[in-house]
């Protein structure tokens, strides 16, 4: 199963070509396994990190997923590819220019990009979600996002320089660690 999931993720990443989500000045570096600047102090995460995070997320067809800190929109489009047209993928980004750029790059009608609301983490009005992906480093567990998970939901997020997976079952959560990572900071005034 794990090998199959990796192949599905690799194919989704190929179909949602990274070049479409990059500014012209870095597009020639699209095949390098490193983060690339997309402006405004933000990056498009390196492909190996994106793949590892999505594998931890365990996406599935028809899921309701939230992509927090969606930046260029690349991860949102990959989630849309994996979820298919019966899914609903919600991306949220705080920088208006990146919101506009990612709306133009994403060609799946089941993926929507939302401007972040100040002092609100995620999209609580659209909750619950089956899957939540966070692509920015938090200081600690993002409890307001964990609260947006549905029963059986999974959140993958970095905090305290470590990648974590949170699995929610009823009122209980199980948190596991999955190695050290570096990300731009999650900008938010409260969790």
Q: Which residues are catalytic?
A: 45
The candidate with the shortest Cα–Cα distance to 121, out of 148, 152, 103, 139, is 148
Inter-residue contact 161 to 170 (CB < 8 Å): no
128 upstream amide cis, omega within 30 of 0: yes
Task: Give 175's contacts (C-beta < 8 A, 6+ positions apart).
Answer: 141, 164, 165, 166
Q: How many CB atoms lie within 10 A of CB 71?
A: 27
Q: Scanning the structure block, which residue is given the tokens 């993002």?
A: 142
CA distances from 56 to 30, 134, 139, 153, 155 (A): 23, 12, 20, 12, 9
């Amino acid at each position: 199963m794990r090998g199959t999931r990796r192949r599905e993720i690799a194919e989704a990443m190929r179909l949602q070509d990274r070049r479409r989500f990059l500014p012209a000045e870095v597009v020639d570096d699209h095949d390098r396994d490193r983060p690339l600047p997309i402006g405004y102090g933000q990056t498009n995460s390196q492909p190996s990190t994106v793949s590892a995070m999505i594998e931890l997320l365990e996406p599935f067809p028809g899921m309701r997923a939230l992509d927090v800190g969606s930046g260029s929109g690349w991860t949102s489009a990959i989630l849309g590819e994996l979820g298919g047209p019966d899914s609903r993928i919600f991306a949220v980004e705080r920088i208006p220019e990146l919101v506009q750029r990612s709306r133009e790059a994403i060609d799946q009608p089941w993926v929507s990009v939302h401007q972040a609301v100040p002092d609100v983490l995620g999209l609580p009005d659209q909750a619950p979600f089956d899957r939540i992906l966070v692509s920015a480093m938090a200081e600690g567990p993002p409890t307001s996002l964990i609260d947006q998970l549905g029963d059986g939901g999974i959140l993958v997020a970095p905090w305290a320089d470590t990648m974590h997976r949170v699995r929610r079952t009823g009122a209980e959560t199980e948190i596991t660690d999955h190695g050290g990572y570096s990300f731009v900071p999650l900008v938010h005034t409260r969790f």
